[in-house]
A = this chain, B = another copy of it.
């Protein structure tokens, strides 16, 4: 919370925009200043600060010995900072060892990616692991909640769409490559997959929909691609972390799905699974096309932050 809100009750300091009302016990809490002293006794700090503020404040908390899981973009691309999707690159947490050594921090900063990357990286993970893949061409149709509040003016989105999101396309390509990258000693070697990204904003409240065209070095069977997606399980599933969905990827059989309003809350942990549909060949049998949907404020933000902290605890990084 900004310093202007310090001292207020939480319900006075926020503009609560969710369908479910603010829980009374949360509403009553007092907002504290973002100072390490205020956080005493916490195991892990979640940060959703604006990037410029995060750049300044988060290191102070790390310096004070806290573990931070940050949804802010400020430190995502620093070489000693893990950029985490627990299902995709659980081993990248090992970067923390290097970070702690070089920065002298007890626990350190871990980041989670841009909300548009998360669904895409989860879907790409089993595919780049199971097949020899070529380039990925992606068009996104992103939800309004991804732009925060007040975000997109209503005059710009009723009977309209916006074919541009500042800085987004660069972030998606760059972050996806780091997340899919290989930990080589103390460095993450980014994945080499060439990516062409077009980002659009559409009149949807929650849920980023993305079309993916993906090439392969050899012919692939659509059935094999589907099987690879459906069978994908990873470290959070094996560890049975509380926020880990049973299936990271759900493949819809219906021809006109996934749809954001109908599918964004799918899965055993609502909003944590990516829903894929329309898996089919692309221009020939050496390419596929599919549509994926991920809940941008659950899987794309708070949910992945919580899951990351659960993985950190399970691996002993919060001690």
Contacts and interface: CB of A to CB of B under 8 A. Distances in A.
Interface string A149-183: 11111111111111110000000000000000000
A262 interface: yes
B144 A260 contact: no
**So how many copies of this chain end up in the complex?**
4
Interface string A208-237: 010101000000000000000000000000
A14 interface: no
Interface secondary structure of A, over-half rule: loop
A153 to B, nearest CB: 4
A92 to B, nearest CB: 25
B164 A278 contact: yes
Q: Which of A200, A211, A258 has the most CB of B within 10 A?
A: A211
Interface in A125-148: 135, 137, 139, 141, 144-145
Contact of A259 (B150, B160, B291): B160
A181 B132 CA distance: 34
Contacts of A37: none
A50 interface: no
Given A16-B262, A141-B202, A198-B213, 6 more contacts: A17-B262, A21-B263, A152-B154, A154-B203, A160-B259, A163-B256
Interface of A: 16-21, 135, 137, 139, 141, 144-145, 149-164, 194-196, 198, 200, 202-205, 209, 211, 213, 255-266, 270, 277-278, 282-284, 287, 289, 291
30 contacts: A17-B155, A19-B261, A19-B262, A21-B263, A137-B137, A137-B213, A137-B282, A139-B139, A139-B198, A149-B153, A149-B155, A150-B150, A150-B153, A151-B155, A153-B153, A153-B154, A158-B158, A159-B260, A160-B204, A160-B260, A161-B204, A161-B260, A162-B259, A163-B256, A196-B213, A198-B291, A200-B209, A202-B202, A202-B203, A203-B203
